[in-house]
Each structure stands twice: as C-alpha cells, then as structure tokens.
Amino acid sequence: MYLPSVNSTYREQGYYNIAKIYDAETWLRIEALREDIMEYLDEDRFYLFPFDNGKAITEASLRDAMNEHKNILIKMYDGGWAPKTFIPSMTTANKTVKIATNAGYKTTVSYNNKEITLEKGGMLTLTSKAVWHEVNSR
C-alpha cells in the first residue's frame, strides 16, 4: 500500500485506496495534528534558551522565556552545561521544553516534584497540558 508523503496529503482519499471515509471536520483535525507534529520535530521553531555555563537554570528565568515563547530548547554540551534545570509549573497549555545534553557532566531536571538525571546523549521533552478539573458541581 502506498502511503502519502507529508507534502502530498492534499490529494483525495480515494487516491490512496483508503477504505475509511472521513468527514471534513475529521480531515481538519488530522491536518492540525500533522502541523503540530511537524512543528514539534522542527527545532528551528524552538527558542534556543541561553544560560551561563556551570550555573543552574532557574524557574524564574525559564518562566520568563516561556511567557515569550511557545517552544523552548535547552542544548547542553561541554562548555555549555547547567548542573540543574528547574522547570516552572505551568497553567498554560501547549508549551514545550526540550532538553538535550551532550555534556560530559550529568544534569538534573526538576519538575512537578520529580527529578530526572540526564547523561551525555540524553534528552527530555516536556509539554504542558492545562485542563480544567471539576471540583464541585451542584
């Protein structure tokens, strides 16, 4: 079976011999998801977060960047490393923080009362999902 490439999804469904026929709303949701995936994978759409070598990345500095940018990328390497990164709690949905390290030293990432240690070659991606939870109804 032939599967369409990312750039040829404008063709009619029948062209691909797809048995399932989707309505227009479903196709719009599929297209929106496709766009989200492409944006997520494209590091050029991420703000490269600046930090001082050997110093922790604070919640305040990261929160300031997240107020200005939807996607944050923290790249670590020898000579550009942070021992700790503190991810602020978020109330806004659809924010992404990617941390990728090629530094010889380990780095610890703290978020939601958790700690994760990343070693050389490690990567962590976090996304925020702000949702309402029903506490009380009458």
Q: Does the structure show a pLDDT above 80 at 92? A: no
| Arithmetic mean of pLDDT, 65-91 | 92
* CB of 68 closer than 8 Å to CB of 49: no
- Residue-wise pLDDT for 93-112, tens only, equals 778 888 999 999 999 999 88
Architecture of the domain delimited by 45-127: Sandwich (2.60)
- Residue-wise pLDDT for 119-138, tens only, equals 999 988 888 876 443 444 33
- Residue-wise pLDDT for 23-34, tens only, equals 888 878 887 777
Work out the pLDDT band at 89, boundaries 50, 70, 90.
confident
> What are the sequence ranges of the domains in the chain?
13-41, 45-127
User: How many Å apart are CA 67 and CA 123, to the nearest integer?
Assistant: 23
